[in-house]
Every structure is written in structure tokens, then in C-alpha cells.
Amino acid sequence: GILEGALSDIILTILASVTASSVASAVIVWLSKTWITERVKSSIKHEYDLKLESYKAKVEIEKTAAIENIKSALKDSTFKRELRFSMLHGKRSEVISDLHAHLQDTIMFLRHYYDASCSHGDFDKLNESTLKLSNFLRVNRLFLPDDIEVKVDDLCDKILDSSQLEKDINFDVEDEIKPLFSAIKKEMKKLLDDDI
């Protein structure tokens, strides 16, 4: 008995100790494994989050740079277009102004030609002035509205047809030029953005 009881107590103590040790070891292993797994997961997540933030920042910088490049290109393109338009607008204004001056000269000679006191003025001067007007129109017709171009062409054709001038003693200079000068004035005001 006593030996058996002592042996049994020793075995029970050893078993309890081994069991407690095993349970404690299992708990420690499980906690260590869980803790290590969580630490690894946390570390990986942290690293991933850092890389993601870095990537987001890089994408944002690239996006901002791309937007700025597009804005810059648009501003440049708009500036060039506005500059071309401004130059074209200036050229049109200049052509219309020069056309008005050429017409004034031609009309002056035409009035002299039909003025009774001049007894049919100098046709050569009228012809020369009309040819200058016609050549000016030929070179600059791109800058003129169609209706003005047609009216000036018609006037030049009538004047340059000397037989028409000789026959048409009722040719009314004022009736011919008033609509033309009115159209030129209207076009110039439109170019200058004046109210018509």
C-alpha cells in the first residue's frame, strides 16, 4: 500500500505536471502562433498600406502633371488660335479700309466723268483707278464678304466697259455706290463690334 499509494501519487503528480506542462505548452504555442501570425499579417498589411499610399500619391502626382500639361497645351492652342484670329481680323479691317479708299478714288473719277461741267472727264484716269480697284479686289477677295465682293466686281465691270459708260448717260453714280458704301460701313462696324 504505501508504496503503491506513493507511487500512484507520484504518477498522478507527474501526469498532472506533464498534462499541465503540455496544456501550458500548447497554450503558449497556440498564443505564440496566433501572435506571430497576427504580427506577420499586421506587418504585411502595414507594408501593403504604405505601398498603396505611395502608389496613390504617385498616381495623384502623375494625374496632376498630366492635367497641368493638358491645361498648358490648351492655353497654348487657345493663344495661338486667338493670335491667328486677331491677325486675320486686323487684316480684314485693313483690307476693308483700303477698299474704301480705292473706291473713294474711283468714285471721284466716275463723278468727274459724268459731271456735266467737266464735259466727260478723263476716261483714262477713271480706267486706271478702276483697274487698281479691280486688282486690289482680285488680291484681297478672301478677306471680303461675298456681297461686297460682288458689288465691287459689278461696279468695276460697268466702269471698265467704256461702251456701257458712253451709252448709259443716265448712269446714277450715287445709286450705284450708296449700297456699296453702306455694306462696307456695316461690315467695318461688325468687325469693330459696334452696334449697327
Could you tell me the CA-to-CA distances from 165 to 90, 109, 168 in Å, in that order?
Answer: 36, 13, 5
Kindly state the average pLDDT of the residues 153-176: 70
Question: Is pLDDT of 194 > 60?
Answer: no
pLDDT band at 9 (very low <50, low <70, confident <90, very high): confident
Question: Is pLDDT of 163 > 60?
Answer: no
Could you tell me the CA-to-CA distances from 97 to 7, 75, 110, 147, 192 in Å, in that order?
Answer: 130, 32, 20, 16, 12
133-151 pLDDT per residue, tens: 999 999 998 888 888 888 8
Higher-pLDDT residue of 88 and 118 is 88
All cell numbers assigned to 124: 483714262
- pLDDT at site 169: 57
Supply the pTM of this predicted model.
0.56
All cell numbers assigned to 104: 473713294
Angle at 20 between CA 15 and CA 23, to 5 degrees: 120
Sequence spans of domains, the chain: 83-191
Kindly state the average pLDDT of the residues 43-49: 93
Closest CA to 148 of 164, 162, 161, 133: 133
- pLDDT at site 125: 84
CA–CA dist 91, 13 (Å, integer): 113
Closest CA to 99 of 51, 55, 153: 153
